[in-house]
Structure 1
Amino acid sequence: MKDPGRHILLGRMIGALGLRGDVKIESWTEPRETIFRYQPWVLRSPQGAQDIVSGIRGRDTGKHVLAQIPGVTDRDAAEVLRGTEILVPRSALPPPRPGEYYWVDLEGLRVVTTEGVALGTVSHLFATGANDVLVVRDDERERMIPFVQPQFVTGIDFDGGVITVDWDPDF
């Protein structure tokens, strides 16, 4: 774990539902209702203002994940939250199981080939449906490397801050 004080983006508020202030959220946790386990939330508005909120309740309705935010009691108040990001401290998340990683823990690690050629650092990751992808950047270019172990990602050394990949540096 690189920075236990770092905040992790777990979801976003995407609109209001009903008249009582329920907020529809897009949750990136698995399963998606797990987002309610990690509190307090740091709510960051699209303009960058932040607020810390505890006591959020919610449920997965199958179609939406709905949240009841303390103090949000009507549709207008809920609609104001559209686009607000939901963050929690990295330390609030449970440790990953052996062989599993939080993407955020991979960000910033140096990436080298099995031959020792430096490719840059992990900027971020994204899912494609088929597999996750490491986005590796250096001063000159950006590479997208499938996060497939052990075929392309051959090693992760958190202590050394390095991910080793079997990848052609010219690709």
Structure 2
Amino acid sequence: MTNENSARRILLGRVVGAFGVRGEIKLESWTEPRSAIFKYQPWILRSPAGVETELTGARGRDTGKHLVATFPGVDDRNVVEAMRGTEVYVPRSALPPPKADEFYWVDLEGMEVVTTTGQVFGTVSHLFSTGANDVLVVRGDRERMIPWVRPDFVLSVDFDAARITVDWDPDF
């Protein structure tokens, strides 16, 4: 992993509204399981206006329908409603190292993607999940969407060279 990746921030969730009248917060989490978001602190909260603050001590519970959080010093529904849309980030370094042959998507972003014949497709813009498999979005001369299916389409990931080798038809 490069120093650039270790300094990056990872978006883990977002404030989606108030829960009750005592300042509890409905939180959307993209961690798995979703309640794992509370393991990665301190958080960097980024308001929709771009104002950033650091937060430590957030707690929460999974109600089944919602993830409900409490933030230190927040005990009013109106304060929570003003926070709607606030994003929750953590430094990439706060996440545990991935297991062997696993990757954090953010670590793949920006890597060069080449074919087995050496043709450069471009760089990884982002990844997304379809439910059936994840998809690598590569932007270069055009945008390509390559299923993250190893070893059928994604042959290798070389962090030292910042390169992903794929077996993919350039015309597809």
**Fold conserved (TM > 0.5)?**
yes
Question: How far apart in 2 are the matches of 1:14 and 1:151?
Answer: 39
Which of 85, 88, 93 is the aligned partner of 1:86? 88
Which 4+ stretches in 1 moved above 4 angstroms? none
In structure 1, what is the equivalent of residue 10 of structure 2?
8
The one-letter code sitting in structure 1 at the alignment partner of 2:111 is: L
Tell me which amino acid in the other structure corresponds to 2:75: T
Give the C-alpha shift of residue 5 in structure 1: 1.2
In structure 2, what is the equivalent of residue 36 of structure 1?
Answer: 38
Offset at 1:48? 1.0
Aligned residues: 170
* Distance apart, 1:108 and its partner CA: 0.4
Q: Alpha-carbon deviation of 1:72?
A: 1.1
Instruction: Find the counterpart in structure 2 of residue 158 from structure 1.
Output: 159
User: What secondary structure, in the 3-state scheme, does the structure 1 residue paired with 2:93 have?
Assistant: helix
What is the TM-score when the length of structure 2 is the normalising length? Answer: 0.97
Q: Post-superposition shift, 1:115?
A: 1.1
Deviation, structure 1 residue 88:
0.1
Aligned to 1:75: 77
1:145, 1:84 → 2: CA distance? 32
RMSD: 0.8
Aligned amino acid, residue 19 of structure 2: L
Aligned AA for 1:52? E
Identity fraction in percent: 66
Q: Which amino acid aligns with 1:72?
A: V
User: Counterpart of 1:134?
Assistant: 136
TM-score normalised over the length of structure 1: 0.97
